[in-house]
Amino acid sequence: MMTYKFDIDCFNLSYIPFHEDKNPIRIVYGGRDSAKSHEVGLEFLMDIMSLDYCKVVLVRKVYRDIKGSQFEQIVDLIQQFKLDHLFDIKVSPLEIIYKPNPKNRIIAKGLDNADKAKSMKDPTHAWYEEADQITYDDYITFSLGLRSSKTDVIKEVLTFNPGLKTCWINDAFFPPKETYERPDGKFMTVPSTQEGVSIYHMTYMDNEFISKQRIQKLLGLKHISKEKYRVNVLGLWGSGLEGLVFDDYDLIESIPSQADTYFGIDYGFSNPSAVVEIGHSEGTIYWDELVYQRKLTPSDLVEKVIEFRSRIGNKPVVVDSANAALIEELRRAGFNVFEAVKGPNSVVDGIGWLKGYKHKITKHSVNIIQNFDNYVYGQDKYGNNTEVPVKADDHAIDGGRYASWKFGFIEGRWLTGGNRIVAHAPTTRTRTNVRGNLRKSKINR
């Protein structure tokens, strides 16, 4: 069988112990931009190309999120090393086949469909991305179902960034954090409470390929929110929920049919683009996640939105007004597009509007839930909370805020009776009127 050699320069040296580790379960967690996905994807790609038999299973809470995370990471590596001719890459269903040895392949399984998650034969590897978004029962059920006649040991890797709240992974595998955490984030290994489990802590300092501009952006969080800096940059477990913008929400199966609904879009490239459906009924705002994915061009995102055309129909789609190209492409595609209201204090006013309602989120909307769990107010130099939330973990919330603020208050009414509101109609008010009416609104008395 043909072999391919990867140069040592492809790896971050800090990850060499991880790659040489023989334990069946390895956990890699820590700060953002720590190259976790790069290193795991690179190792599994090497195994696909070198082992006589290798079947990698990519696992996430929701199947559709795999394409924009682990799957995209491995495809990027294949293209980076100009290996496209060696692989057959399929997107429906998600699958990557190594042509020189077609038994070796990568498949995807979402835990939102229990029956499909069980239908796999002889896996050798499993990669749980955003592992903190799945439940303990999800993990145990899936892990116990990993049986193979092709290998004695199935490699399992769990990757995640710690949030402001601890999760089941901490309880299942970690000792008390005071026994291993350092306040500067400079520690690499954590002694697990379970046999056969290795835990690695990584930060941007372990990523040799990170740009200086990105480092400066991460370090800037220290002056905005100490807790965000601890969690997102140093990769430490959150110390509490102080300063949380939304401190309560309920989980539901779906938006009720009687709710008035419309859609919000927040665009990003390095950051995720988010498309959310917002519903309103009887003092409650409902949230449902359609898209949450990085590295989408405006054209890519339009194609994603088109996939939901039958669901969106002529309902309003409120888009970040900073992206004229996206707005124009969506209009040309036939969607009823509105520009989001932005300007001085628009974030504070929009959040103030949202906080006057109960919130219910569909269970499969894992990124909206993550946003709610990690969206905190900034702090001044004295450690006091400001009225402006930290600009992080907010992409789905921004999309929902654009839509809610536009049609909840700025329009002066919610959609009713299925009537279409046309985008070219006058929809904005002066800043003075908005502030005045907000002070008079029922939720702010």
The answer to whether residues 26 and 49 touch, using CB atoms and an 8 Å cutoff, is no
Residue 389 is predicted with a pLDDT of: 83
What is the SS3 assignment for the chain? CCCCCCCHHHCCHHHHHHHHCCCCEEEEEECCCCCHHHHHHHHHHHHHHHCCCCEEEEEECCHHHCHHHHHHHHHHHHHHCCCHHHEEEEECCEEEEECCCCCCEEEEEECCCHHHHHCCCCCCEEEEECHHHCCHHHHHHHHHCCCCCCCCCCEEEEEECCCCCCCHHHHHHCCCHHHCCCCCCCCCEECCCCCCEEEEEECHHHCCCCCHHHHHHHHHHHHCCHHHHHHHHCCCCCCCCCCECCCCCEEECCCCCCCEEEEEEECCCCCCEEEEEEEEECCEEEEEEEEEECCCCHHHHHHHHHCCHHHHCCCEEEECCCCHHHHHHHHHCCCEEEECCCCCCHHHHHHHHHCCCEEEEECCCHHHHHHHHHCEEEECCCCCEEEEECCCCCHHHHHHHHHHHHHHHHCCCCCCCCCCCCCCCCCCCCHHHHHHHHHHCHHHC
- Whole-number pLDDT of residue 118: 64
The tokens describing 25, both together, are: 């379960």
Q: Where are the domains of the chain?
A: 8-233, 250-444
**Sheet harboring 25-30: ordered strands across?**
87-91, 94-98, 105-110, 55-60, 125-129, 155-160, 25-30, 197-202, 189-190
The domain over range 8-233 is classified in CATH as 1.10.10.10: no
* Residues 288, 400: Cα–Cα separation, whole Å: 9
Averaged pLDDT in 10-residue chunks for the chain of 445 residues: 64 94 97 96 96 96 92 95 95 95 96 70 96 92 92 96 84 94 94 97 96 93 84 85 80 93 92 94 92 92 96 93 91 94 82 88 93 84 77 90 76 44 40 32 31
42, 212 contact by CB (below 8 A): no
CATH architecture assigned to 250-444: 2-Layer Sandwich (3.30)
User: What is the distance between the alpha carbons of residues 285 and 74, in angstroms, rounded to a whole number?
Assistant: 37
Cα separation, 399 vs 396, in Å, equals 5
The answer to whether 124 touches 150, Cβ cutoff 8 Å, is: yes
* pLDDT value at residue 435: 32
Q: Is the pTM of this model over 0.75?
A: no
Q: How far apart are CA 405 and CA 347, in angstroms?
A: 10
**Cβ-based neighbours of 77, under 8 Å, separated by 6 or more:** 38, 41, 42, 45
Amino acid 412: pLDDT: 45
